[in-house]
Copies of this chain bind each other. A is one copy, B any other.
Amino acid sequence: MTADSPAPRQIPEATVARLPVYLRALQDTAAEHKATISSERLAEMAGVNAAKVRKDLSYFGSYGTRGVGYDVEYLLFHIRRELGLTHDWPCVIVGMGNLGQALAKYGGFQERGFLIAGLVDTDPAKVGQKINNLTIEHIDELPRILVDRKVSIGVIATPAAAAQEVADRMVAAGISSILNFAPTVIAVPDDISVRKVDVAVELQILSFYNERRSSLDAAG
C-alpha cells in the first residue's frame, strides 16, 4: 500500500486547472527578467485572488519566502514538473476538417511540448495529403501510430456523429487522455482523462448572460 507516503497530496481539480495559467504568467514574468514575484502580482496576472494563489502553490510544498515572494525560476521549475512538462507529449489528431487542419498548422502546441505525432482521417481523399511535413494516415493505423510513437494524448476533431467511435478506437488502442472538440459528450472508461472544448457551448453561455442583462435592463 501507499498508506504512509510523505504527504496526502491530493490536488483539487480547481487548482490543477489554474496551474497552466500560473505557468503562463510566470513565463511572462521570467521574460521580463524579474527574479521574484509576489502572490499578489501573480494573482493579478492570472485573474484570481492572492490567497488562492498561495493556497494552490502550498499543495506542492513551500516554495515561497516570506517577505520576498516566490523565486520565478524555481517556481517555474516546480510547476512544470507537476504538470509533467519536463518531457514532450506526443499527440495524435483525428479528423482533418477545418478544425483539425487549423490545429495541425497551429504552432502553439509544439512550443509548449505537445508534439503532433500523427494526423488521421477516414476520408481516402485526405489520406496521403501532407500538412506541415506530416502525412495524413488512415484511422485503421491508429493502434500502430499510438504504440510506435508513444502517443498518450488523442485529439478528436471530427463531427459529433463520429466522435464516440473515434473515442472507442482510441481507448481500444490504449490512449490515456482525450481532448474532445466534437460537440458531443463521449463516454470512456474511468481511468481515461477527458477534456472538452466546445465553442458553441461557450457562446451559448455568453448568450445566456447577455439575454439576462437585456431583460433586466428592459425591466429596470
List A residues at the B interface (Cβ < 8 Å): 2, 16-17, 19-21, 23-25, 45-47, 82-85, 89, 91, 98-99, 101-103, 105-106, 108-109, 112-114, 152-153, 176-179, 183-185, 187, 191, 193, 195, 197-214, 219-220
Contacts and interface: CB of A to CB of B under 8 A. Distances in A.
Nearest to A209: B193
A204 B85 contact: yes
Contacts of A99: 102, 106
B200 A108 contact: yes
B205 A17 contact: yes
A85 B207 contact: yes
Contact of A197 (B21, B85, B98, B202): B202
Contacts of A101: 102
Given A185-B21, A187-B47, A208 B102 contact: no
Given A20-B205, A84-B212, 15 more contacts: A2-B219, A16-B208, A45-B185, A46-B185, A84-B214, A98-B105, A106-B199, A112-B200, A114-B203, A114-B207, A176-B210, A177-B207, A178-B206, A179-B199, A195-B206
Contacts of A16: 205, 208-209
B82 A208 contact: yes
A153 B24 contact: no
Contact of A220 (B2, B102, B176): B2
Contact of A210 (B47, B89, B108, B220): B89
